[in-house]
Structure 1
């Protein structure tokens, strides 16, 4: 039985990895084509290649559920087409044992993907975004259209580029009063995080009153903010590119500031529950192989897998924004598609038995 488990595991794992390689390769090619449009000045073709290479690890965990579904359909389908599954069943191997033989390699691949998504991809993505933003800033002007916005209390901030070591470039800070009137505008070429506080460099500050605007220049100036380099490491990335711990930390920070953290909470639950999502996809694939797809061609199995993956992704894309619009807990938007997967798989397996 151990040899049989290893054989099934190798077949399924190889199919999953092959599908994942193809999907990630297509994603890398698409990103490369998109980034070629941004080439100018210091942002050269070599910079584009570096950027695409650094953001590639983030695609692994993102596409893993889809790869697990199609890979299991392809791997188990090849065993079914050669009648090997029939022989295994005739030899007394139960469906439960076959399911476990498929789940084990899938869990192993999922754990590797989770490690990459938690520790490798966010750091690589941040370095890529930082290098890209700095290169594009030098290619345009100090007030780059690239970068990110952030709000803290009555202040709205924009950073052209954020480096992982606690260095900011192109810092703009706009403060408003209770009547939403602009009272102060500050721009600094650079900011450093030293000794638990921020130091602005080459500062230009404009104070607004009802009668006039007063402009001042400072070579250096302290900046009080609850932002830390760790939080900025989160801010520079989109929610779906962050680690699970980073999403939780930044969502807690936003809630503390009285700001809406719905996007980050939704991304947190989606990433945290993704291993369960992958198991649900595998369960659906197994139920298809032992059920309605046991006698069809490989091409049709892959087609069905792609369609199921698209339907699952569409359901996530609908429920996720709906939770933000209608105010229900984002965890329900993450759990509902998973429950549907297991329900569909269970019904098909019950019909088979």
Structure 2
């Protein structure tokens, strides 16, 4: 029985890895072609290639559930086409045992995905985004289409590039008085965090009064009265889906304490928490399909079914996420409903068998 478990598990694992490699390769290739449209003087094909390379951990993490579903359909479908599943069932092996054998190697992939999502993806994604923005917009003032706005009292700050090592590039600051009249603006090429404060470098400052304007240049300047820290900016600059589980929870709790909108961050938090279960449920769905409606169809039809189910799951989860934000519903339900529905569908199909 142990050899049988290893054989089924190995077949499923190889198929999942091959499908995941194909999906990630196609996605990265199309992303690279899209990046070629953004080429500028300091952002050429090599920089675009490095950007895509740094985003590969995120793509692996994102495609893991769909790759598991399609790969499991192909692996188990191959066993079904060669009548090996029929022989296994005729030998008295239960469907529950086959589910266990197919799921066991996927658990290791789930553990790899958890490590990627928690420790690797946030770091590589922030570095990739910051390097791309630095190459595209370094030296420009407020003219770039990207960047991050931050408001503290009467000061509005626009930051072009945020690096994970406590360095920012392209900082534009605008200070308004109590009557919302602009009284000072400046642009700094770089800012370095010095433990408890920022030091601005190569500052071009303009002071505005009723009668005239006065411009000055400074090699360095201390950034006074700001609560911006590298930790805060590392969360702000990334999309919620790219953050770690702990980072999502901390920032969402902070937004909640400030009575700000936090649903999108809590939704991403619960989606990441449930992703390991999502990946395992995809194996369960594949088994129920192979023993049920896809028992005697071609491999192409199985692949198409896997793609359709994977897309339906993805878009259902995204739709429920937007509904949660609009109607202020519980983010946990939005993340859990597609998962529970997929599991119940698999149970229903296996019961019919």
TM-score (norm 2): 0.91
Q: CA deviation at 1:314?
A: 1.6
Question: Which residue in the other structure is 2:302 paired with?
Answer: 301
Cα distance 1:330–1:215, how it changes in 2: closer, same or farther (>3 A)? farther
Question: Which residue in the other structure is 2:274 paired with?
Answer: 273
Structure 1 residues 269-288: Cα deviation after superposition (integer angstroms, max 9, x where no partner): 11121111112222211111
Structure 1 residues 215-237: Cα deviation after superposition (integer angstroms, max 9, x where no partner): 56454123333332122222222
Q: CA deviation at 1:166?
A: 0.3
C-alpha separation in 2, matches of 1:145 and 1:306: 38
C-alpha separation in 1, matches of 2:46 and 2:325: 39
Matches of residues 174-193 of structure 1 in structure 2 within 5 Å? 174=174, 185-193=185-193
Matches of residues 1-353 of structure 1 in structure 2 within 5 Å? 1-138=1-138, 141-154=140-153, 155-174=155-174, 185-205=185-205, 211=210, 215=214, 217=216, 218=218, 219-352=220-353
> In the alignment, is the contact (CA less than 8 A) between 1:171 and 1:191 conserved in 2?
yes
Q: CA deviation at 1:258?
A: 3.9
**Structure 2, unpaired ranges of 5+:** none
Q: CA deviation at 1:144?
A: 4.7
Answer with 239-248 or 291-300: which moved more: 239-248
Aligned length: 350
Q: CA deviation at 1:203?
A: 3.5
**Structure 1, unpaired ranges of 5+:** none
C-alpha separation in 1, matches of 2:291 and 2:211: 77
Tell me the SS of whatever aligns to 1:37.
helix
C-alpha separation in 2, matches of 1:292 and 1:201: 65
Q: CA deviation at 1:183?
A: 6.1
> In the alignment, is the contact (CA less than 8 A) between 1:147 and 1:158 conserved in 2?
no
C-alpha separation in 1, matches of 2:118 and 2:54: 15
Structure 1 residues 5-63: Cα deviation after superposition (integer angstroms, max 9, x where no partner): 11111100111111111110011101110111112211121111111111111101101
> In the alignment, is the contact (CA less than 8 A) between 2:140 and 2:170 conserved in 1?
no
Structure 1 residues 120-149: Cα deviation after superposition (integer angstroms, max 9, x where no partner): 2221222211211111123x7243515432
C-alpha separation in 1, matches of 2:265 and 2:208: 35
Task: Give the alignment's Cα RMSD to 1 decimal.
Answer: 2.3
> In the alignment, is the contact (CA less than 8 A) between 1:42 and 1:136 conserved in 2?
yes
> In the alignment, is the contact (CA less than 8 A) between 1:153 and 1:257 conserved in 2?
no
Tell me the SS of whatever aligns to 1:273.
helix
C-alpha separation in 2, matches of 1:27 and 1:186: 41
C-alpha separation in 2, matches of 1:346 and 1:181: 65
C-alpha separation in 2, matches of 1:39 and 1:153: 34
Cα distance 1:14–1:142, how it changes in 2: closer, same or farther (>3 A)? same
